[in-house]
Amino acid sequence: MEYIGPQAASACEALSDLCLRGGKRLRAALVSTGALCFRKPYDDKLLIDIGAAVELLHTYFLVHDDWMDGDLVRRGGPSAHAVLRRSHGQASGDAAAILAGDWGSAVANAWMAQLPLPPRTLTPVLTAFSRMQRDAVAGQLRDILAKDNDIELTYQLKTASYTVEGPINLGAIVAGATINDLRQIRRFAIPVGIAFQLRDDLIGLFGSTTTTGKPFGSDLRAGKRTAVAVCALERARGSNRRIIAETFGNPRASNRQLKEAVHVIESVGAKSLVEQRIVELLELAERQLRVAPVSAAGRKLLASAASALVLRSM
Amino acid sequence: MEYIGPQAASACEALSDLCLRGGKRLRAALVSTGALCFRKPYDDKLLIDIGAAVELLHTYFLVHDDWMDGDLVRRGGPSAHAVLRRSHGQASGDAAAILAGDWGSAVANAWMAQLPLPPRTLTPVLTAFSRMQRDAVAGQLRDILAKDNDIELTYQLKTASYTVEGPINLGAIVAGATINDLRQIRRFAIPVGIAFQLRDDLIGLFGSTTTTGKPFGSDLRAGKRTAVAVCALERARGSNRRIIAETFGNPRASNRQLKEAVHVIESVGAKSLVEQRIVELLELAERQLRVAPVSAAGRKLLASAASALVLRSM
């Protein structure tokens, strides 16, 4: 990147620093898991290249999302726009962060285009990759703009399709999965992905701040339409409803108010309803997995992945 | 897009409206021109699909650029973030505009992935497409952040590579161009692209506001490091320098001050130096075109395209 000059290259460096700073590498792991489900021989290096492109694509979304959500911390360090504001001021720093994300998207697509695959594999792999990109954007659009209560549609797009189904598909196609195989994987991946996001919401609301790495009650303060919050708002009446409404989307809600609201959300039954839904989705996914046309090793890995994703402790 | 709900879909509609509202369709025309330069038979529908993807990619950049530059008007109507701010408020509207652009990028890449091409053509076509994306971002990053005076490097990335070379390459590869052919097209495309941008700057500064569609002196007010402005700042001394400096990057510069500055930019010789450079670049491009290994019809079209792009009147 040196050729574009040190100031412009600082944006690309902010992206690359964030990408290499860590993260769970969940999506790259699911690419490999998807490949282990099928039997056509493949070069391991392919999976590494795809996994790297997927993680770069993910970093692009994190950079844009953090700017939209005003999050200044990511992966234990400053988010990209926080770094770039420091060097270039607020307006140019924000523009540079958006462009840093755009840069990551271009480079990830360039890597994918150069995979040494025959066209009957390259076209579906690239189609799956651009679909991940499209669904993640659609999910984030719903997160920001949608006023309806179909929270599971948002989760299907932003988590199940983008985070679970897409990565598994990429590996599965490389290892010879057919369209019918992918259809059956989808029946497993979508409920797992939705349950994963539901669990993530519960951890965000009821987990310790050391587990979440976010300030207590931040989703409530931000007015995020999570399933548990929407469910509680639907069920609560009278003073209970007022207690939640006073914190929801109120950046100045006090810690005491937030604690009270979290207590009400639990007492009106929203927490246990979401927990029931998680169990239901996980059971559905497990049933689908039992009949999915995947290798024994793949089935075992997918089952472990599902439990690990969905039954994380708080 | 209905499936993501009306509020979220409003962002995709803002993108699609802007894409279909017009524009010169310069890049799509250059895709076809590139194909006419070579002889391998191809399906015309391929060029239409590639041209559409290129115009969608371009719309994505316009949406992000307009937000960065604070431009509220584009193609004779409101820019995407202007539309979305009206429906969703400033913060959500801006986020929705960034996502609308991201959506366009994902869809354009999906279209490109599905082109019915053999891999020895698909891989170079997709690589050229992601390179256009990367170079446009790099050029915009330099536009916003770079403090050096290598303005032609910025123009090489944001205009010559992205607007001229990339589209010609896409058509040329489909019609059988080799790597060596592309190398020789580059020697023509880069000087044409730089000259096109230099002419665009002159029109922006000295042309009538009806031609430019922008307020008088807007590049000066915005402090854009155009070649003509940087050249004038380097050459002007004493009160002349002060007159330019008072308007450069000063959003409150008056029309009288701007007129005076434009007069000084001309009187210190910056306008005629840039005009000389345009002629020099066009002659270089024409020399390269004479020896390029392209069909007679293609050579004629490229020569007309070069004159049309570079010798536009003010």
Helix-helix angle B179-206:B270-291, to 10 degrees: 160
Least CB–CB distance from A145: residue in B7, B119, B142: B7
Nearest to A61 by CA among A161, A191, A158: A158
Q: Residue A312: which pLDDT band, with cuts at 50, 70 and 90?
A: confident
Whether B140 sits inside 8 A of A99 (CB atoms) is yes
A106 neighbourhood in chain B, CB within 8 Å: 130, 133-134, 137
CB atoms within 10 A of CB A38: 21
CA B136 to CA B239: how far, in whole Å? 37
| pLDDT in the model for residue A112 | 97
- Which pairs from A210-213 meet CB under 8 Å and 24+ separation? A211/A313, A211/A314, A213/A73, A213/A76
Whether B147 sits inside 8 A of A103 (CB atoms) is no
Whether B130 sits inside 8 A of A146 (CB atoms) is no
| pLDDT in the model for residue B214 | 74
Whether A130 sits inside 8 A of B109 (CB atoms) is yes
- Domains for chain B: give ranges and CATH numbers: 183-314 (1.10.600.10)
Q: Are B60 and B108 in contact (CB under 8 A)?
A: yes
Q: What percent of chain B has pLDDT over 70?
A: 99
B162 neighbourhood in chain A, CB within 8 Å: none
Looking at CA atoms only, how far is residue A133 from chain B in angstroms? 6
| pLDDT in the model for residue A2 | 80
Q: Are A110 and B112 in contact (CB under 8 A)?
A: no
Least CB–CB distance from A109: residue in B88, B109, B146: B109
Whether A117 sits inside 8 A of B119 (CB atoms) is yes
Least CB–CB distance from B88: residue in A114, A117, A145: A145
Helices (H), B41-118: 44-69, 80-88, 90-113
Q: What is the mean pLDDT of chain A?
A: 95
A140 neighbourhood in chain B, CB within 8 Å: 99
Least CB–CB distance from B95: residue in A5, A68, A126: A68
**Structure tokens of A267?**
């007492």
Least CB–CB distance from B102: residue in A64, A114, A118: A64
| pLDDT in the model for residue A23 | 86
* pLDDT tens digits for range B40-84: 999 999 999 999 999 999 999 999 999 999 989 999 899 999 999
Q: Are A304 and A195 in contact (CB under 8 A)?
A: no
Whether B96 sits inside 8 A of A133 (CB atoms) is no
Looking at CA atoms only, how far is residue A294 from chain B in angstroms? 27
Q: What is the pTM of this model?
A: 0.94
| pLDDT in the model for residue B313 | 75
- Candidates A144, A148, A156, partner chain B, best to mutate (most B CBs within 10 A): A144
| pLDDT in the model for residue A3 | 87
Whether A95 sits inside 8 A of B68 (CB atoms) is yes
Q: Are A94 and A85 in contact (CB under 8 A)?
A: yes
What's at A105, amino acid-wise?
S
Please check the confidence at residue A214 and state whether its pLDDT lies above 80.
no
* Closest-CA residue of chain A to B3: A153
Helices (H), chain A: 6-20, 26-36, 44-69, 80-88, 90-113, 119-145, 151-155, 166-174, 179-206, 209-212, 218-221, 227-235, 238-247, 255-267, 270-291, 296-310
pLDDT one digit per residue (tens) for chain B, 314 residues = 788 999 999 999 999 999 999 888 999 999 999 999 999 999 999 999 999 999 999 999 999 999 999 989 999 899 999 999 999 999 999 999 999 999 999 999 999 999 999 888 999 999 999 999 999 999 999 999 999 989 999 999 999 999 999 999 999 999 999 999 999 999 999 999 999 999 999 999 998 877 776 778 888 998 999 999 999 999 999 999 999 999 999 999 999 999 999 999 999 999 999 999 999 999 999 999 999 999 999 999 999 999 999 988 77
Would strands A73-74 and A77-78 be described as parallel, antiparallel, or unpaired? antiparallel
List, in sequence order, every residue forming a beta bridge with B10; answer none if it has no partner: none
**Structure tokens of A16?**
């690359």
- Candidates B13, B109, B140, partner chain A, best to mutate (most A CBs within 10 A): B109
| pLDDT in the model for residue B210 | 74
| pLDDT in the model for residue B23 | 86
Looking at CA atoms only, how far is residue B76 from chain A in angstroms? 24
B156 neighbourhood in chain A, CB within 8 Å: none
| pLDDT in the model for residue B47 | 97
CB atoms within 10 A of CB A247: 23
Phi–psi pair at B266, nearest 5 degrees: -70, -45
Whether A113 sits inside 8 A of B129 (CB atoms) is yes
Whether B103 sits inside 8 A of A138 (CB atoms) is yes
CA B55 to CA A124: how far, in whole Å? 23
Look at phi and psi of residue A75 and say left if phi exceeds 0, alpha if psi is from -120 to 50, else beta. left
Whether A5 sits inside 8 A of B127 (CB atoms) is no
Q: Are B299 and B37 in contact (CB under 8 A)?
A: yes
Please check the confidence at residue A144 and state whether its pLDDT lies above 80.
yes
| pLDDT in the model for residue A172 | 98
Looking at CA atoms only, how far is residue B281 from chain A in angstroms? 22
Distances (CA, A) of A273 to A113, A280, B233: 44, 11, 67
Least CB–CB distance from B96: residue in A99, A119, A144: A144
B117 neighbourhood in chain A, CB within 8 Å: 119
Tokens 């579906």 label which residue?
A: A124
List, in sequence order, every residue forming a beta bridge with A77; answer none if it has no partner: A74
Whether A141 sits inside 8 A of B117 (CB atoms) is no
| pLDDT in the model for residue A76 | 87
- Which pairs from A237-246 meet CB under 8 Å and 24+ separation? A240/A264, A240/A267, A240/A268, A244/A220
Phi–psi pair at A168, nearest 5 degrees: -60, -45
CB-based burial label for B79 (10 Å; 0-12, 13-18, 19+): buried
**Structure tokens of B171?**
């058509």
| pLDDT in the model for residue A218 | 87
Whether B105 sits inside 8 A of A105 (CB atoms) is yes
Nearest to B188 by CA among B202, B210, B172, B208: B172
Looking at CA atoms only, how far is residue B236 from chain A in angstroms? 26
Whether B11 sits inside 8 A of A146 (CB atoms) is no
Would strands B73-74 and A77-78 be described as parallel, antiparallel, or unpaired? unpaired
Distances (CA, A) of A177 to A37, A38, A172, A181, A182: 9, 6, 5, 6, 7
- Candidates B102, B117, B224, partner chain A, best to mutate (most A CBs within 10 A): B102
Distances (CA, A) of B151 to A16, B143, B186, B229: 26, 9, 19, 10
Contacts of B104 (CB under 8 A, 6+ apart): B15, B19, B56, B57, B59, B60, B63
CB-based burial label for A44 (10 Å; 0-12, 13-18, 19+): exposed
Whether B110 sits inside 8 A of A131 (CB atoms) is yes
Nearest to A15 by CA among A76, A88, A80, A95: A80
Looking at CA atoms only, how far is residue A220 from chain B in angstroms? 17
Q: Are A28 and B167 in contact (CB under 8 A)?
A: no
Looking at CA atoms only, how far is residue A115 from chain B in angstroms? 8
